[in-house]
Amino acid sequence: MNRNDWWRGGVIYQVYPRSFFDSSGDGIGDLRGVLEKLDYIASLNVDAIWLSPFFTSPMRDFGYDVSDYRDVDPLFGTLDDFKLLVQTAHGRGIRILIDQVINHSSDQHPWFKESRSSRDNARADWYVWAEARDDGTPPNNWLSVFGGPAWTWDSRRRQYYLHNFLSSQPDLNFHCEAVQQQLLDDMEFWLQLGVDGFRLDAANFYFHDRQLRDNPPNHDIREGSIGVRADNPYAFQKHLYDKSQPENLQFLRRIRQLLERYPGSATVAEIGCDQSLKTMAAYTGGGDRLHMAYSFDLLTEQCSPAFLRHTIECVERELGDGWPCWSIGNHDVVRVMSRWALDGRPNLARGRMFMALLLSLRGSVCLYQGEELGLDEAELQYDQLVDPYGLRFWPEFKGRDGCRTPMPWHDGDAHGGFSRERPWLPLGAGHLPLSVAAQERDADSMLNTYRRFLEWRQRQPILIEGAMRVLHHDDTLLVFERRLGEEVWLCLFNLAEAARHFSLPVPVEALDVPSATASFEPAGVQVPAHGFGFARVRG
């Protein structure tokens, strides 16, 4: 807890509170539930927890629609529960980052209620309002990420308001100085309570084009591209004017200036756009903006060695003095065990290999709860869905519920020890045998593999601080180098179902790495199917 730069190479464990552990017996996870499981989180050897939103909210988007930025929703507990969680986590050497959903609020927030009441009230310009076109249609062609126009008519003001997400999530107007200051004050409220920083939701959406210019069509659209789905027209535009505006940089500097007053605090931003790597570089470079950011580049279906090499090399080339945070899963995407499975068949050996790959990249890492158990995507029926995104695009897109199902703590009941009552979402089929209790009884389980690898990683400065260079890729194999001073490592990963032999360009000695499966010989290495290995270059 002494290092102010702990975030460089740090591992952040994302807790989605609704699905982590229910301490109250109402079927919904809560802050006391996180508190009760702190020993478990500490056993993973992570540096920090990222808590998904627990603020007061009508829960139309499950907390990502905030109606009070300074209080805890009763579903999750109380402000005193949060204070105790921070204090107890710090006592175990774990930092706490909290989600800040400041691009938009709930339409139930008092600010929006006042803003929509008239055109001349004190908060009239706190949200993005615009006149209709002469024919009554929205002011421009901007689209919502959740489908349809990004504008909704309000009969009180007789104007349209902007919402990049649900219509119940109106965008705040960051061109208004009072909005910026209010949000910074709200962030400082949590810093004063002891939080160690923030995960910034939709960080490149804050500002919009003042002129409200139309986005041009995206003629480069193709299936398989980041964020592209044929059922959602959002990708049919190049989003030049509704997000990633140049004014954002100065506001990010103001956030950094705030955090500099609280040594050891850090930011990690979510960035989703067509030019995500360039945006990451702009947002994290110079030492006066964000500390780190992650993109959606590894949250897609693609995972070939060629794709991974391209992504890694783009980050290394584009980021400059910025800092990446890598993630292969979170609460918004299909679980990696399913998304990167071969032929739709999750494979635990493959999961271990991707774990080692992720934790060997240069940068920081976000792990999503359940990845350490090898959980796959839960298959839910339409009548089990609650996610508004999934309900809108079913059946072509099944939404985000499948990655948000409850954590299985033991296999003694149908609810997996998550709750005494029926959970808000059912457990995933096949998740009970992967419960924490079951895996703790197995020394070679995925859970214990994560624990050992993370503990070993903490003692390897070369993985925390070292430079990185990709040396080789082909249809099945990815090989990269980590270097720190005179120390040079080779890291090899086989993404295929067949063993691979690789001729080594230099003499090496095998490193004793937890769960590594490669066999090194004087002139080459044998890497089993879904296997990996690390070696030190000699001489």
- Catalytic positions, please? 201, 270
User: Looking at 119-189, which runs of residues are DSSP E strands?
Assistant: 129-130, 151-154, 159-162
The pair of structure tokens assigned to 267 is 């930011």
Task: Read off the tokens for 155.
Answer: 């009969």
SS3 content of the chain, % helix, strand, coil (to 5): 25, 20, 55
One-letter amino acid at 64 equals Y
d(CA 452, CA 327): 19
Least Cα distance to 460 among 26, 151, 9 occurs for: 9
DSSP 207-253: ---TT-PPPPB-TT--TTSTT--TT-GGGGB--SSSS--TTHHHHHH
Phi, psi (degrees; rounded to nearest 5) at 411? -110, 25
- What is the rounded distance in angstroms from the CA atom of residue 528 to the CA atom of residue 518? 6
116 close to 154: Cβ distance less than 8 angstroms: yes
275 three-state secondary structure = coil
Which class for 214: exposed (0-12), middle (13-18), buried (19 or more C-beta within 10 A)? middle
Contact by Cβ (8 Å): 304, 45: no
Q: Do residues 485 and 428 touch, judged by C-beta distance below 8 A?
A: no
> Letter for the amino acid at 68?
D
Burial of 227 (0-12, 13-18, 19+ CB in 10 A): middle
In which element (H, E) is residue 11 found? strand 11-15
C-alpha to C-alpha distance for 57 and 280, rounded to whole angstroms = 30
d(CA 101, CA 61): 11
Q: Is 349 left (phi over 0), alpha (psi -120 to 50) or beta?
A: alpha
Q: Give 360-415 as a DSSP string.
A: TSSSEEEEETTGGGT-------GGG---HHHHHHTTT---SGGGSSPP---SSSTT
Interatomic CA distance for residues 160 and 136, integer angstroms: 10
Ranges of H-type helices in 384-502: 388-393, 436-440, 446-457, 461-465
